[in-house]
Amino acid sequence: MHDAARRKRLMSGWGIAVLAFLYAPIAVVIVYAFNANHDVSNWTGFSAKWFTEAFDTPRYVNALELSLKIAALNAVCATVLGTAAALALGRTRSRWRVPFSALIFLTLVVPEIVIAVASRIFFVQAHDNFGAFPELSWRTILLAHVVWSSAIVVLIVRARFTSMGSQLEEASFDLGAPPVRTFLQVTLPRLAPAIMAGFLLTFTMSFDDYVLSVFTASGESETWPMAVFNDVRFGVSPAVNAISTLMFVIVAAGVAGAVWFMQRRGENVSEALAGGR
């Protein structure tokens, strides 16, 4: 068991090193939020003025709000659609399985810029010809995001679903439980990590998407990544870093608060957030 302890230490060391790798640029972002220079990449001195400037730029705040809204709705829609499809596809041998799986992969294979322009043409034409179809707006951004987001959810959830064995579901079905009950009591708890991974990943990808959003947006909707890209030509202002820093601090505080709260109540954080075992 001495060996095992050493292996565990080694793995933990690696895990912490990778986390440090993930946070290295974030640390730089935070430090440069206090840069006095008008351009974020040249350090010329300390200043906290960008934090007030950030909030005096309603454009940034609006863009951030829009991105959060799209990302959250996208993650919910994609998780529901994707999980349902993964359950149906997971253990079926139907002849629809292969073409449908191929379609799912295809959404990931198409280069983003191409599907972005094609989607814009489609949305414009669809609205011109069928008034019920939404005009270019944040809604069309959402519609486009859900396509590849649900593909990601299907891949993640199905991978877990196929690898976790089906005995429990079979037993539940055999005992006459309807699919909804089987899902809630047997499958969902075991799929929780995958569903949560899918939710987090699609939220993140949507929140940070640029190309697809640009081309499916109307003239007036600007997401956060669009705002950042649009400002690059004349240098990104440290105000963008200031907003990122504040966001980071809020998220970190939220996570820390949740941990503290749950530990105080003696609950298992993982189970509480993941839906229990």
Partner 1 sequence: MDKPNQGELRLLAPAELKPRMDRLARLAQKAAADTEGVKLSRRHALGLGGLGLLALAGCGGSGSEASSGGGAAASSSAAGKLAGKPMEDRLLIYNFSDYLDPKTIKGFKKANAAVTVKETYYSSTDELEAKIKAGGGNYDVIVPGQNSIAALGQAGHLHELDKKLLPNFANLQPQWTNLDYDKGNTFSVVKNWGYTGFYYRHDVITEKPTTWAEFFELLPKYSSKGRTNMLEGTTLIIGGAMIALGMDPDSENQADYDKAVKFLEPLAKHIKTLDATTYSADSEAGKIILGQGWSGDIVNIVKANENVTGVAPDGPAERWADNWCIPADAPHPVAAHAWLNHLMDPQVALTEMEFTGYPTPNAKTWELPGAKKFRDNELINVPESKLGGYKFIISPTPKVLNLRQQAYEKFRATR
Partner 2 sequence: MSARRAVKGQRGFAPRYPAWLASPLLGYYLLLFVAPLAILVTFAFARQSDSFAGDQIVYGFYTEQISAVFDSLYLNVIGQTLLIAAGGTLATVAVGFPLAYWMARHVSSRRKTIVLLLVIIPFWTSFLIRTFAWKLILDGNGGIAGFFGLDILYTWKAVLIGLVYGYLPLFVLPVYASLERMDWSLVDGAKDLGATPWKAFKEITLPLTRPGLLSGTLLVFIPMCGEYVIPQMLGGGRFLFVGNVIQGQFIGASNWPFGSALSLVLMVVLAVFVVLYVVSALKEEQYGA
Binding site for partner 1 (CB under 8 A): 39-42, 117, 120-129, 135-136, 214-215, 218-220, 222, 226-227, 229-235
User: What gap in Å lies between CA 257 and CA 250, rounded to an integer?
Assistant: 10
Shortest distance, position 123 Cβ to partner 1, whole Å: 7
Interatomic CA distance for residues 249 and 201, integer angstroms: 20
Q: What are the residues facing 35 on neighbouring strands?
A: 46
Q: Which 48-87 residues touch partner 2, going by CB under 8 A? A: 81-82, 84-85, 87
Report in angstroms the alpha-carbon separations of 218 from 10, 32, 72, 156, 185.
51, 33, 20, 32, 43
Handedness of CA 203, 207, 209, 215 (dihedral sign): positive
Residue 75 interacting partner from partner 1, partner 2, none (CB closer than 5 to 8 Å by kind): none
Q: Is 20 in the site for partner 2 (CB under 8 A)?
A: no
C-beta closer to partner 1: residue 43 or 100: 43
Distance CA 244, CA 250 (A): 10
70 contacts: CB under 8 Å, gap ≥ 6: 138, 141, 142, 145, 206, 207, 213, 223
Footprint of partner 2 on 176-235 (CB under 8 A)? 179, 183, 190, 193-194, 196-198, 200-201, 204, 207-208, 210, 224-225, 228-229, 232
Query: Tokens 């179809």 correspond to what residue?
Result: 133
Nearer to partner 1, 61 or 188 (CB): 61
Q: Which amino acid is at 128?
A: D
Binding mask 233-272 for partner 2 (x = CB under 8 A): ---x---xx--x--xx--xx--x---x---x----xxxx-
Residues 101-160 that bind partner 2 (CB under 8 A): 102-115, 117-119, 121-122, 126, 143-144, 146-147, 150, 152, 154-160
Q: In angstroms, what is the minimal distance from the CB of 69 to partner 1?
A: 18
Q: Which is nearer to partner 1, 21 or 234 (CB)?
A: 234
Nearest approach in angstroms of CB 229 to partner 2 is: 6
Residues 6+ apart with CB under 8 A from 224: 60, 63, 64, 66, 67, 207
